[in-house]
């Protein structure tokens, strides 16, 4: 059986994230991915959940309270600034997830954009553990969505195959701009962490 897009995104993340790790929800939205990650890393792990919209922050915070989650930091800031919220510049991140587009049932003019998305991807790749994954769910059936999709695809296709595996997972017979997944795996064998200053 083929996995649906969101189910496959979670399947990929769960296959690589371990208990007690720090992970990133780069676009917390309605909080469902944040809750999922919180369960995966366990009570001694940590989730950094980012969003620029107050509605998303409040919705995610309420969901965490309802589920009695104490291992989540909900951050009202753009994911492009994520390094400011990591405990140290030497720590490794266990994994990350993005949902590109707009917050469901909200202002459709407030969307993710290519520049901040690509900057956040690059920063997470720097901190990502060997064999860790960034999973990006790309929604693009909205104004500005196609431009972001093309820019992100172009960027990840240029990542060195010596250092990363990049996968695209999509259904090709569905109409109305169906979402798809980009998964980036940081290779573990012989990978040397680059020095990077922000």
CA distances from 118 to 11, 26, 150 (A): 23, 12, 11
CA distances from 113 to 77, 138, 179 (A): 14, 11, 16
Supply the pLDDT for residue 90: 83
Residue 116 lies in a domain: yes
**Which pairs with CB-CB distance under 8 Å and at least 24 residues apart come from 37-44?**
37/13, 37/95, 37/97, 38/64, 38/67, 38/69, 38/71, 38/72, 40/13, 40/14, 41/17, 41/71, 41/94, 42/71, 43/70, 43/71, 44/19, 44/20, 44/71
Supply the pLDDT for residue 193: 44
> What's the full length of the chain, in residues?
198
Residue 65 lies in a domain: yes
- DSSP for 44-100 reads TSEEEEEES-HHHHHHHHHHHHHTT--SEEEEEB-GGGGGGGSS-TT--EEEEEEEE
Residue 197 lies in a domain: no
Residue 195 lies in a domain: no
Residue 196 lies in a domain: no
Domain holding 36: CATH number?
Answer: 3.40.50.150
Q: How many domains does the chain have?
A: 1
Token readout for 110 is: 């407030």
Supply the pLDDT for residue 198: 42
Residue 192 lies in a domain: no
Give residue for tokens 């040397």. 192
Q: Contact at 8 Å (CB) between 37 and 99?
A: no
Residue 148 lies in a domain: yes
Supply the pLDDT for residue 145: 84
pLDDT per 10-residue tile (average), the chain, 198 residues: 92 97 96 98 97 95 98 97 90 96 74 94 96 96 87 97 96 92 87 43
Supply the pLDDT for residue 189: 61
pTM of the model: 0.92
Residue 198 lies in a domain: no
Torsional class of 119: left (φ above 0), alpha (ψ -120 to 50), beta (otherwise): alpha
Q: Which domain holds residue 76?
A: 5-186
Supply the pLDDT for residue 119: 97
Q: CA 142 from chain center: how many Å?
A: 20
């Amino acid at each position: 059986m083929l996995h649906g897009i969101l189910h496959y995104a979670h399947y990929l993340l769960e296959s690589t994230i371990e208990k007690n790790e720090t992970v990133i929800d780069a676009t917390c939205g309605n909080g469902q991915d944040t809750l999922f990650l919180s369960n995966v890393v366990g009570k001694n792990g940590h989730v950094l959940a980012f969003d620029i919209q107050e509605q998303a922050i409040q919705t995610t915070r309420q969901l965490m309270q309802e589920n009695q989650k104490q291992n989540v930091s909900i951050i009202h800031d753009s994911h492009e600034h994520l390094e400011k919220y990591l405990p140290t510049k030497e720590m490794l991140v266990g994994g990350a997830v993005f949902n590109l587009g707009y917050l469901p049932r909200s202002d459709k003019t407030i969307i993710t954009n290519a520049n901040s998305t690509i900057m956040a991807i690059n920063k997470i790749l720097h901190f990502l553990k060997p064999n860790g994954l960034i999973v990006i769910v790309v929604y693009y059936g909205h104004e500005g969505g196609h431009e972001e999709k093309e820019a992100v695809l172009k960027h990840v296709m240029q990542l060195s195959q010596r250092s990363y595996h990049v996968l695209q997972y999509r259904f090709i017979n569905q109409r109305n701009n169906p979402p798809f997944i980009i998964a980036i795996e940081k290779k573990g064998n012989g990978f040397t962490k680059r020095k990077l200053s922000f």
